[in-house]
Amino acid sequence: MKGEYDLVLFGARGDLAGRKLFPALYHLHHCGLLPEGFRVVALARQELTRDAFLAHLESRLQGVVDAKRLNDATFAEFAARIDYLALDFTDREGFRRLAAGRSPRRGAIYYLAVPPALFGTIARHLGAAGAVREGDRIVLEKPIGVDLASCRRINEEVARHFPEENIFRIDHYLGKETVQNLLVLRFANRFINTQWDQGCIDHVQITIAEPVGVGGRFAYYDQVGQLKDMVQNHLMQLLCLVAMEPPNAMTADSIREEKVKILRALRPIDDGNVAELTVRGQYIAGWYHGEPVPGYLEEPDCTRPDSETETFVAIKAFIDNWRWAGVPFYLRTGKRLPEKRTEVVITYKSLPHNIFSAGKNIPNRLIIRLEPNEGIQMEMLAKKHSLKEKMALERHNLRLDFLGATGMDRIPDAYERLFLDLIQGDPLLFVGREEVEEAWRWCDALAAAWNRQQVELKPYHAGSWGPAKAELLIEKDDRSWHE
């Protein structure tokens, strides 16, 4: 059925669809990468004509798709692929109309860009309405549930109507170029892989920092917080890709098995160690690029002025296995931090014996950067060119800048890769059921320990790198965050 699928998009007027999904589809169309007969059925609750929806869509694309690529002629071609259907996602009758309107010859990719509470209901209604045919796919956006129990309920309900191989769970970080490159870097380069363990590595840092606050998304975000919004999925996925054993083949099953082993080997964070190993924070008013910005509780759509939801998390994690015994993984992620920065920093151990008297023992570092400027940087020591100083050492950076190296003028958005894979039915960059459940198990234990121990929520100024306690988390080990 290659290429003979249509996309049926639930939540077509939502934030994700406007900011990410339609722009990605538009870019694919613009590059000629969408299959010829590929169509999109956009579903949302509002009664709208197709023209009204397209006008709304065009205005959403402006400012997201870059101006060079957005023009009337290409938009008109793109729009010709799109239909709009008003559907109340809890109304069974509507699903029957959806099923009846489907082309008998084309498969469906049901994409659920809706809150996870609706996943089970939609899968059930699709099944009951006879809208699920052999080979149809369903796509679940993260978060899958709000904890392990709700995640399992969703997985079970969806599994009643779709076989596991047709369920595509999205964590869009896996579609990012540098995240895929992490696999290549580790498993296509012998010299890197042989230096990838507790014998060589001192510690690992993973940072996902965003300058944005949660204004405009308060209703969603306040229910989840940074642990469930970013750690349980994006951060855990990066951690798994950094730490997993080499899979025996480049297949989804093989990679998922290795990721699950890492999640199972993560040392539990419980009542006894939660205060020592974690920091939770919430932003208060501060400054960003010289402009004042409000605190979390002063966001215009804040409905809970006493909310204790965290917008920052830092964790010192350990993976209890042979490869990583004793190596700390310092993880941090937060909203309203000074810049958009996502990176993995590997710091190697110091030399066992330093023979260079004219230089202190500076460790090598490997930085894998997802944002800004996707690329890789290796920090190493070389001799300083100097006649005055003999055998002096200085640090040099070997840099690979992906955009510069490709000669392209933009790096495709993660969703572009993921849509192509969905259309081709390639599960490699999607998340398996066990992985997502194991990640919830670990995060649930952490969240429960926060509650029981009443771990204090530390305020931090918008525009800063989080609460001072996050600095302490790493500095008490004589290390510091890479900044």
Residues with a known catalytic role: 234
Contact 109, 5 (CB under 8 A): yes
Contact 211, 295 (CB under 8 A): no
Q: 6 or 229: whose CB is closer to ligand BG6?
A: 229
Q: 177 or 210: whose CB is closer to ligand BG6?
A: 210
Q: How far is the CB of 171 from ligand BG6 (least distance, A)?
A: 8
**Helix residue ranges, H only, 140-290:** 148-159, 177-188, 190-193, 218-226, 236-243, 252-265, 274-277
Residues numbered 62-101 forming contacts with ligand BG6, rule: CB under 6 A: none
Give the residue from 391, 443, 86 showing the smallest Cα distance to 237. Answer: 443
Q: 35 or 215: whose CB is closer to ligand BG6?
A: 215
Contact 238, 343 (CB under 8 A): no
The DSSP 8-state label assigned to residue 20 in this structure reads I
Q: How far is the CB of 341 from ligand BG6 (least distance, A)?
A: 10
What's the Cα-to-Cα distance from 350 to each of 272, 347, 353, 367, rounded to whole Å?
A: 31, 9, 8, 17
Q: How far is the CB of 454 from ligand BG6 (least distance, A)?
A: 25
The DSSP 8-state label assigned to residue 351 in this structure reads P
Residues numbered 5-44 forming contacts with ligand BG6, rule: CB under 6 A: none
Coil, helix or strand for 152?
helix
416 binds ligand BG6 (CB under 6 A): no
Q: 210 or 299: whose CB is closer to ligand BG6?
A: 210
Residues numbered 252-291 forming contacts with ligand BG6, rule: CB under 6 A: none
Contact 261, 245 (CB under 8 A): yes
Q: How far is the CB of 348 from ligand BG6 (least distance, A)?
A: 27
CA–centroid distance for 56 within its chain: 27
Q: 210 or 435: whose CB is closer to ligand BG6?
A: 210
State the residue for tokens 């659920």. 112
**CA pair distance 233, 468, nearest whole angstrom:** 25
Give every strand in the sheet of 82-86, ordered side by side. Answer: 82-86, 40-44, 5-10, 107-112, 137-141, 167-170
229 binds ligand BG6 (CB under 6 A): yes
Q: How many residues bind ligand BG6 (CB under 6 A)?
A: 2
Q: 107 or 116: whose CB is closer to ligand BG6?
A: 116
Q: Which residue is nearest to ligand BG6 (CB)?
A: 229
Residues 178-217, one symbol each (x = binds ligand BG6 by CB under 6 A, - = not), give --------------------------------x-------
Q: How far is the CB of 229 from ligand BG6 (least distance, A)?
A: 5
**CA pair distance 206, 342, nearest whole angstrom:** 8
Q: How far is the CB of 135 from ligand BG6 (least distance, A)?
A: 28
177 binds ligand BG6 (CB under 6 A): no
**Chain positions contacting ligand BG6, by CB under 6 A:** 210, 229
